[in-house]
Structure 1
Amino acid sequence: MLSLDREDILLAAHATDWRDALQQAADALVAGGRATVAYREGLLAREAQSSTYLGQGIAIPHGTPDSRDAVLSTGVRVLQFPDGVEWHDGNRVFLLVTIAAQSDEHLDILRALTRVLDRDGVSERLATASEPEQILAELGQEVKPARLDADTVLTGFPARDRDELVLAAAARLRQAGCVGDGFISAMLSAEPRALGQGIWLVQSDQDVLQAGLAVVTPEKSLETRHGRINALACLARVPSQGQHHRPLLERLLILLEDGGGDRLPGLSTAALLARLSGESATAQVVRVTLLNAHGLHARPAKQLVQAARDAGERHGVIPSLRLEEGGDGVVSAASLTKVLGLGARRGQALVFSAATEDQAKAEAALAMMVAAVQAGLGEAVEPLADQRPTAGTSVIESAGQTSDVEAPTADSVVPAVAASPGMAIAPCWVMRLPRFDYSARSDAGADNEVARLEVGIQEARLQLQALVNRAEGAEMAEILSMHEEMLGDPELFVAARESLEEGSSAEAAWWSAIDSAARAQENLADRLLAERAADLRDVGRRVLGVLTETPLPSAPETPHVLVTEDIGPSDVARLDTTRVRGLVTALGGATSHSAILARSLGIPAVVGAGQSVLAIADGTELIVDGERGRVSVAPSASRRARAEEAIAGREQRQAAAWESRMAPAMTRDGHHVEVVANLGNTAHAGDAVERGAEGVGLLRTEFVFMAHPQAPDLATQITQYGEALDALDGRPLVARTLDVGGDKPLSYWPLPREDNPFLGLRGIRLALTRPEVLETQVRALLTAAGSRPIRLMFPMVKDLAELRAARVIVDRVRDELDAAHEAEHGQPPQRDVQVGVMIEIPSAALTAASIAPEVDFFSVGTNDLTQYTLAIDRGHATLSAQADGLHPAVLRLIEMTVNAAHAHGAWVGVCGELASDDQAVGVLVGLGVDELSVSSRQIPLVKARVRELDLATAREQARVALIQPTSEDVRSALDTLLDHADTAQGTSLDTLNQESV
């Protein structure tokens, strides 16, 4: 709760920017014993998610759920900035109400502050206040909300005189906990006041614990010696709270506005509350229960307001809103501050009303509001406990329920998303998630269910620790460790505990918390984060298995292709790679953890194949093509024979490629193409060299920044980059400068929320907003390299202006380092430095001729270039298979880039997935690409593929590809070319991928 003293208010603060203001706020909380110094990171992380600017010059910074461990006790510090601070969303802040909260207390604070926003001139008064008491007067002390609800209203009371009505009203307030016996005594001598229309008011501040208003109506109008009585209101006032009771009086006066006092006797409690709330007696009304886990906080409130405005545009009436119980009366559903001010909680009833003579329009507008609330207002919602399935039913069904989906026909090919290269043939085993049978409700009590859940979570953590200990590879161990961390997330436990308090069983409460969190994650604009919802459910099922003693499904002992709806990292960790020949999932994208881990294990895999694969009968033979993203179901003998030939050829090719991996990639007619490695970490540079890499064509340097809680300093970066340069032993290193923002945020670099992060502040455009960060990175790279070959590459460059802005920094840093070296050694250093840009944005390819004179090289990032050119998110569940880099539009952009570069003496690399696509290698060489940068595992095979080509053939492949209308036509035409080549030259290894298997 917001409880302010003058000591909590710091006046006349000054800050250089909003980060400095947050630092001062965090320091104030630490000094007051409310939080540790780590809480500042939580404040920054919250701003990265969305701005905490509230309005009227007020911001309410608070931490994230992850930062609650840094909170020592709930508290508030208020900092006044008379000159104002420019907030990161463009607003100007004069007052920071900084919150350290151990649960969701900030929602209560938000509700209290929304009342402040309604006052004219409040921002000026807050900015110019010279005494803490002035701030206190504006913000007000947060107190218990004044009561006026079904517990303080009594209708149809059989009173015979006014005194009986007075005592009945006072008794309602005492029963509601608003007053003590002293208030009842005061009422015995109080003199009620007539307001008009038979409505009377009596009030007192004696022995008042909480402001409240009781309203009692008689069975029928009473005629007494004092006059007619239609209703008697009893007001309890708290002296220290000033005019806190005023809204109650305003609601009482509403009864007088339409002259309907005589109609009050006979109204039901609900009808009387509606009238007190300001709802018209002739309005159309609907009631709907709010299901959002955290009530009407900012995000769902904005959705509700938008729905109200849409209703106004479509039907000419904007609905009003009130809480069925509590609240401050009727508000416009189109006012965000008013809606937030209601402080609606999960489980409360929202009452929408529409006052218009056109009944049809009113009903249509109200139906829109009900639909919006029931749909969750942009959030995943769960039914209330009393709406859950009855005891004995299973809340979590098997994921493989496909009764309405037919299995693919025999010898058919199912398109999917290529996730892990390779090809496999084996009978399938469809892993259907187990059915967890449990009661939704528990009669054992919340404490017992809490204990059960704690034991279940602890057992699940022990299981995960065991999996971590025997995991194959650091990447898998890291992801499983992340799962273990998820189990310790206090936010999940708090959400589950709320359901436990409502009577849910441990199982039902836990899955409700997991599923709500997973659905919310699936709705995120950030594709990578959205795909991690599978991890949450994987964690959730593990605990359910413990609680219900349900064993996880057991795979057959014989070789098989695993088919499942989705697969979690712990499932992948249990896979026996000697038996699992391939992996097929109905859901997922190429960047999901299951796909990443399948690649790390070398298992051919496709994902996003659709629900039909779950209907395939166990034992049905499948061919999994992890390079083209296809699944052949019950293949014919001829199709199977071709696949077997392709697999055998691939194995031979892999063996031969490995033996010759250190030889350069030269075409048959002597044209050299560099084959280098894509690296996500400097630690893997040595492995890339061992696999035959001639250098590194893409070092994703953001790993250095993501591994630290704050921007890494110069020394740290020099050490990290030096590891890769040492392992390369003189081979060139292309280092992409920091590429974060948008879909890859840094916790210590908060950014405003963006509707489309892929088109937002990211890459070089973000780095240029913090030139000191880019300058430190450039200095570290040049220092670590010394005289060794280093290539600096800027990401997401859209045109020449951005290149020039970044190059100014490089040139200045290089001049400073050279001058320092010469001063120390008496001669300038011998540097091997090149500067280039990534071609990821179509505008960069289209203007490559203007950029090329000022760079040494281009590197085409075909993953982003493809999705931006085709307007297809490459992680999209249903469209990603169409995001093919062999689309002629993408190839034409690559051709333009190569021609522009070569005309000015620059070279061109390709560092996207297209560089390792077997069909694309010849096309890229034919287009004139000088370097292919691929994953380390692919280096030997790509080198071998280049050696099978001659330049004339490659150029013909490029020519044919460029004149095709679609990517499918490109691949078909290339297959035909290879067929003709085989016929003329005999069988070659190029036949490996001729057939669609």
Structure 2
Amino acid sequence: MPNNNKELTLSAPLSGPVLTLANVPDAVFASGAMGDGIAIDPLNDTLYAPCDGEVIHVARTGHAVTLRADNGAELLLHLGLDTVELQGDGFSMLVKEGARVSNGQALLRYDLDSVAQRCKSLVSLLIITNGEHFQARPITLKGVKVGEPLLHIVSKTPGETRDDEPDVGVEVFGQIRIAHRGGLHARPAALVRQTAQGFKSRSHLHFSGRSASCDSVMGMMGLAITEQAEVHVSCRGSDAEAALQALLKTLSTALAEEAHAEAPPAKAPSRSAEAGVLHGVCAAPGLVSGPLVRLQGIQLPEDVGGHDVAEQRQRLHDALANVSREIQLTLENAKARRHVDEQAIFSAHLALLEDPVLLDAAYLSIEQGCAAPHAWSRSIDVQCQVLRQLQSALLAERANDLHDLRQRVLRALLDEAWQFDVPAGAIVVAQELTPSDLLQLSAQGVAGVCMAEGGATSHVAILARGKGLPCLVALGEALLAQAPGQSVVVDADGGRLELSPSAERLMQVQQAQKRRAALRAEQQTLAHTPARTVDGVQVEVAANVASSAEASQAFANGAEGVGLLRTEFLFVDRHTAPDEEEQRQAYQAVLDAMGDRPVIIRTIDVGGDKQLDYLPLPAEANPVLGLRGIRLAQARPELLDQQLRALLQTRPLQRCRILLPMVTEVGELLHIRQRLDALGNELGLDERPQLGVMIEVPAAALLAEQLAEHADFLSIGTNDLSQYTLAMDRDHAGLAARVDALHPALLRLIAQTCDGAAKHGRWVGVCGALASDPLATPVLIGLGVRELSVSPPQVGEIKDRVRHLDAAQCRRVSTELLNLASAAAVRQACHQHWPLG
């Protein structure tokens, strides 16, 4: 209940244990990127209003609702993690946008069991999305029941903001070279801003005689700082030294996607006359045909003036809040699908949406008499002009991100429909598309996109490549004069838009598309036959799964077994451990789904950064190097014993293979084999399942020969092996793309593993992401790997790849690759020796 106009006590919207945001198993929420607040692990099936207020947003998928409390605080109530993926299934929203609700009123109901089984976690959030104006103070961190006091909210006073911080403490300085490809554009600037906001101190960048606050993405972009340029950083405040070091690290660490492959070389548009052809730049490759459809941008009506300033300010504020929530949900969805590029792009959009340069200019225009849509549009246009005058092609392209925000906010202000009226298979043309446009069009199944403007390194180009959507940019104004409805051909590889293709040409393109579809179909047709190289070496292609449903999909796709069943799906996001019978039934279901094929089941791999509510473990400063995998079994042996008993009771036992994670020495393997024998004797069993070791730490690879003496097989987990070998966290935003398992050091460890296993006649498989990379297939075969466990949809593709390889040649070339200097060099050599496609 409200205490006064500023303070507010929120009651618990759910019953259950209370968690701080830092303990929420989701990086976006835990980092505070979406705002301050608190979390509850719910025990009931209904979400209630924590206070009186107005419903200002209802998620399309019914899993979240936002209220504006009477004191102005905007509260996002988000049920579960990654529940957006359920597309509303299991949720029933009880209120509508614009409704007035009272404290304790039911907002939504959900099917507790159904949702719990299908989402990442039921942990639910209460987030203050306009936290720049409010501070949250938890009342309790114990379990609560619906309606009990949970969180106290107070308005921030000037003394509590960072505005007064420059007068506190010393000022420190540093200098650094910018590591980000293309300089300090939107995404790295957004990362700098996020870093700066983690400290009380006020920070600035100084370059070429000018300065900008680290709070403003636009201000930093406006400095036009180029790649490898030397910039000065100043921080003043009580934690200035810590802020300085954090900022220097952020500025000197390239973003993940920047360390990845470059954008495809932009083919310079040839403006030589060619009848019926427009020449542009290839932003995403492909060859498609279809009817041309023109997209129009939003056109503002004339501003007649005479507006109520307070009303227009509120209109803009509400529109910005709506768009912010939309982008936050897009971010959540991208994270659930592990689309790193999308996450980076829309994180930058979120930062731009909060940029003081943009907001101050828009609100100033409103004070001067402009309507909210015109004020916002003018602010965006001014900043786009600033970027285009910086004589940086990359920054000029980043103006498209501002266009995206212009369109999104104007849609919110003008109630414009978000869904485009575009048929599947169309070729969309526009002046310039935005990232949001591209995602929407891709979801609607368009065949290709063409833009009069834009560039090959724009965010739209990045997304188009990720979606496999052919895209041409920089086609010029002539593109916009083309009549809609005509059939056109997009030859993105050749940088050509063919406006008047003959019937023969259209047939040629359609046949090329059919050939690609036929290849995929052929791969699927042959997916159920063994994969042998041209010289007769058989390679087993299995699948990585996490449930019996995925195992059924893998079986249908031709998988010759399960190369990795992750058993964590049984243990996480629940309040009690699964008992022995529940585990047995789950494992048996996977065995049944795979017919007569083997199933490798990895024992529980939790601990460290994957915590269980019912298994309290000490917090660890470096969980990746902490108590996890087999180490947890040593600390809590009863947990593994129960799992081993369940596995021993599956039938037929000879098809069940057990895999031990995070083994670093032979003694760990021998101890588990002894436990397996003892438990088998207790159950009166004469046979034992095969027991294998996961090679995911360098120590295990270096001891492969000794481990193979006592193990039945070895399975290489290239994801963890990469990060431990290269000393790079694969989840680190700036380093993840450099954690490349084709690094020569990794290949040497794989070679040593295969050599050690061969001395004892053991086979070696790979269950990490490298197994799913067709470029790596010949290398792994050449080094001695004889089982590849991939994602279920890729089984046919990888089998087809194997059938076109000569194992003897793979051995010769792979041995040479061990002497190369970098992962990039290995990839280049692979493309030369074993080209894809």
TM-score, reference length from structure 1: 0.44
Which one of 678, 694, 716 corresponds to residue 544 of structure 2?
A: 678
Q: In 2, are the aligned partners of 1:842 and 1:869 still within 8 Å (CA)?
A: yes
Cα 1:589–1:938 change in 2 (3 A) is farther
Q: Secondary structure of 1:550's partner?
A: coil
- The equivalent of 1:943 in structure 2 is 799
- Equivalent residue for 2:602, pick from 736, 744, 747: 736
Whole-angstrom CA distance in 2 between matches of 1:413 and 1:967: 32
Contact residue 12 and residue 50 of structure 2 kept, 8 A: yes
Identify the residue that residue 746 of structure 2 maps to in structure 1. 890
Seen in structure 2, the aligned counterparts of structure 1 residues 953 and 821 have a Cα distance that, compared at 3 Å, is same
Which of 181, 184, 199 is the equivalent residue of 1:303? Answer: 199
Equivalent residue for 1:694, pick from 560, 568, 577: 560
Q: CA RMSD in A?
A: 7.0
Relative distance call for 1:305 and 1:931 in structure 2 (3 A) is: same
**CA 1:700–1:70 in 2, change beyond 3 Å: closer, same or farther?**
farther
The residue aligned with 1:818 is: 680
Q: Measure, in 2, the Cα distance between the counterparts of 1:973 and 1:656.
A: 28
Deviations, residues 201-254 of structure 1 (Å, cap 9, x unaligned): xxxxxxxxxxxxxxxxxxxxxxxxxxxxxxxxxxxxxxxxxxxxxxxxxxxxxx
Letter in structure 2 aligned against 1:929: V
Q: Deviations over 1:778-827 (max 9, x none)?
A: 44334345525222223344x21xx6447635643x346424432xxxxx
Distance 2:569 2:406 in 1: 29
Instruction: Find the counterpart in structure 2 of residue 808 from structure 1.
Output: 671
Q: Pick from 841, 846, 851 the counterpart of residue 702 of structure 2.
A: 846
CA shift at 1:644, angstroms? 11
Q: Deviations over 1:93-120 (max 9, x none)?
A: xxxxxxx999799968699xxxxxxxxx
Q: How does 1:194-205 map to 2 (within 5 A)?
A: none
Report deviation, 1:539: 12
Alpha carbons of 1:634 and 1:569: their partners in 2 closer, same or farther (altered >3 Å)? Answer: closer
Aligned residue for 1:42?
A: 19
Q: What is residue 534 of structure 2 aligned with on the other side?
A: 668
| Structure 2 residue 593 is the aligned partner of structure 1 residue 727 | yes
**What corresponds to 1:368 in structure 2?**
235
How far apart, CA to CA, are the structure 2 residues paired with 1:850 and 1:868?
Answer: 20
| CA-to-aligned-CA distance 1:387-432 (integer Å, 9 cap, x gap) | xxxxxxxxxxxxxxxxxxx976349999999xxxx96557999999
Aligned pair partner of 2:764 in 908, 913, 917: 908
Contact 2:713 2:764 in 1 (8 A): yes
1:6 corresponding residue in structure 2:
none
SS of aligned partner of 2:586: helix
Q: Where does 1:209-608 land on structure 2 (aligned, <5 Å)? A: 303-304=199-200, 368-369=235-236, 409-410=268-269, 443=309, 545-552=411-418, 554=420, 559-560=426-427, 566=435, 571=440, 574-576=443-445, 604=468
Secondary structure of the 1:886 match is coil
| Cα deviation, residue 573, structure 1 | 7.2
Residue 783 of structure 1 is matched in structure 2 by 649
Residue of structure 2 equivalent to 1:64: 38
Matched to 1:890, the amino acid is: L
Secondary structure of the structure 1 residue equivalent to 2:659? strand
CA-CA distance at 1:934 after TM superposition: 1.3
Structure 2: give runs of 5+ residues left out of the alignment. Answer: 4-9, 28-35, 53-124, 140-152, 172-194, 205-214, 216-231, 248-264, 271-278, 338-352, 354-359, 378-402, 481-487, 499-507
Aligned pairs (5 A) from 1:854-865? 854-865=710-721
- Determine the C-alpha separation between the residues in 2 that align with 1:973 and 1:761: 39
Would you say the 8 A contact 1:675–1:942 is kept in 2?
A: yes
The C-alpha deviation readout for 1:655-706, integer Å capped at 9, x for no partner, is 4333322221123333221111122433121121122111011223333334
Q: Tell me if the contact between 2:548 and 2:586 (Cα under 8 Å) persists in the aligned partners.
A: yes
What amino acid sits opposite 1:702 in the alignment? E
Q: Give me the whole-angstrom Cα distance separating, in 2, the residues matched to 1:973 and 1:790.
A: 39
CA distance in 2, matches of 1:690, 1:939: 10
Q: What is the SS of the residue equivalent to 2:811?
A: helix
1:244-294 deviation digits (Å, cap 9, x = unpaired): xxxxxxxxxxxxxxxxxxxxxxxxxxxxx99xxx999xx99xxxxxxxxxx
Over the matched positions of the two proteins, sequence identity in percent amounts to 32
Instruction: Describe the shift of the 1:634–1:703 C-alpha distance in structure 2 as closer, same or farther (beyond 3 A).
Output: farther
The count of residues paired between Structure 1 and Structure 2 equals 584
The amino acid that maps onto 1:39 is: G
Equivalence for 1:482: none
Kept in 2: contact 1:853–1:904 (CA 8 A): yes
Deviation at 1:732, TM superposition (A): 1.2
CA distance in 2, matches of 1:147, 1:413: 53
Secondary structure of the structure 1 residue equivalent to 2:532? coil
Provide the secondary structure at the position in 1 that maps to 2:690.
strand
Q: Is the 8 A contact 2:763 2:786 kept in 1?
A: yes
Give the distance between the partners of 1:442 and 1:686, measured in 2 at CA: 62
TM-score (norm 2): 0.52
- Using a 3 Å threshold, how does the CA distance of structure 1 residues 101 and 917 change in structure 2: closer, same or farther? closer
Which is higher, the Rg of structure 1 or of structure 2? 1
Q: Which amino acid aligns with 1:736?
A: R
How far residue 895 of structure 1 moved from its aligned partner, in angstroms, is 0.5
- Asked whether the 8 Å contact 1:852–1:900 carries over to 2, the reply is yes
CA contact (8 A) 2:767 2:789 kept: yes
Q: Does 1:717 align with 2:576?
A: no
Q: Identify the residue that residue 384 of structure 2 maps to in structure 1.
A: none
Counterparts of 1:810 and 1:589, CA distance in 2: 53
Query: What is the SS of the residue equivalent to 1:675?
Result: strand
Secondary structure of 1:919's match? Answer: coil
In the TM superposition, what is the alpha-carbon distance from 1:757 to its structure 2 partner?
Answer: 5.9
Change (3 A) 1:108 1:455: closer
**Structure 1 residue 964 displacement after superposition:** 3.3
Counterpart Cα distance in 2 of 1:879 and 1:429: 40
Residue among 822, 832, 837 paired with 2:694: 837
Give the AA of the match of 1:576: G
> Following TM superposition, by how much is the alpha carbon of 1:931 offset from its aligned partner in structure 2, in angstroms?
0.2
1:932: Cα distance to partner?
1.0
**For 1:7-46, what aligned pairs fall within 5 Å after superposition?**
38-42=15-19, 46=23
- For the residues of structure 2 that align with 1:740 and 1:508, how far apart are their CA atoms? 53
Q: Determine the structure 2 residue equivalent to 1:705.
A: 571
Find 2:808's aligned residue among 948, 952, 961: 952
CA distance in structure 1 between the partners assigned to 2:820 and 2:630 by the alignment: 34
Amino acid in the other structure paired with 2:235: M
Identify which of 902, 924, 927 aligns with 2:783: 927
Shift of 1:886: 3.2
Larger helix fraction of residues: 1
Q: Distance in 2 between matches of 1:937 and 1:922?
A: 20
Structure 1's 705 and 647: CA in aligned 2 closer, same or farther, altered over 3 A? farther
Unaligned runs of 5+ in 1: 4-32, 51-61, 75-99, 112-141, 150-272, 285-298, 309-345, 347-364, 381-405, 466-470, 477-491, 493-498, 512-536, 625-630, 637-641, 823-827, 979-990
